[in-house]
Amino acid sequence: MKSPFLIGIKRGIVLSLLLVIFWLVLDFFYFSKLNNQNKVNLESQQPAAIGGKFILAGEGGKLYSNDSFQGKPLLIFFGFASCPDICPYGLTMISSVLDEMGEESQKVNAVFVSLDPERDDYKKVTEFANIFHEEIIGLSGSQEQVDKIALAWRVYKKKVLLEGSDLGYTIDHSSFIYLMDKNGKYYTHFPHNVDAEEILIELDKLI
């Protein structure tokens, strides 16, 4: 017959082991959750995945790629030549920035990309961009090329039919002005109605 004392000791050992296992399992799940949270936090601190490779046509049919703008900060804005308000406003802001910079504007690239290749060939988009400033490069391409760059810059765009209008349709689109660094990496973005001074402050950090 086993002694009650020994039985009590064994039960105590078993309970202790179960308690240790319980805490080990609890610690495992806690630290797993903590590591996952840290991973999410670190990922959220990484530069936004905006920008990428593209090939589009500009004045005279000259082809431009993302590499064409390496070495200088890049202001890039998306819209279309028939845009009634947002695009002119955004291009006016970019024009104001270039005017304020004076000769220093040569240290910056400014680009306007048409989201309406059906109506905007490189000639039309160049003429439209140059209304606001001769240094703004207008770019267009095939529908596939435009879709590719819009996706790379996370630009929302949608063709919207206009019943009873001579235009036939318009392009609903997001209206951010993007600022890329000298290496073509995303730096920041601004709303189309931003004050030119805000852009100049950020540009000054990159030049």
Look over the chain and give the mean of its residue pLDDT values, rounded to a whole number: 85
- As given in the structure block, the two tokens for residue 161 are 């039919």
Question: pLDDT band at 164, cuts 50/70/90?
Answer: confident
What pLDDT, on the 0 to 100 scale, is given for residue 3? Answer: 52
> Residue 114 CB: number of other CB atoms within 10 A?
29
What pLDDT, on the 0 to 100 scale, is given for residue 37? Answer: 45
110-128: per-residue pLDDT in tens? 999 999 999 999 999 999 9
Question: pTM for the full model?
Answer: 0.77
pLDDT at 198 over 80: yes
pLDDT at 199 over 70: yes
pLDDT at 174 over 70: yes
In the β-sheet with 186-191, what is the strand arrangement from edge to edge? 136-139, 109-114, 74-79, 176-180, 186-191
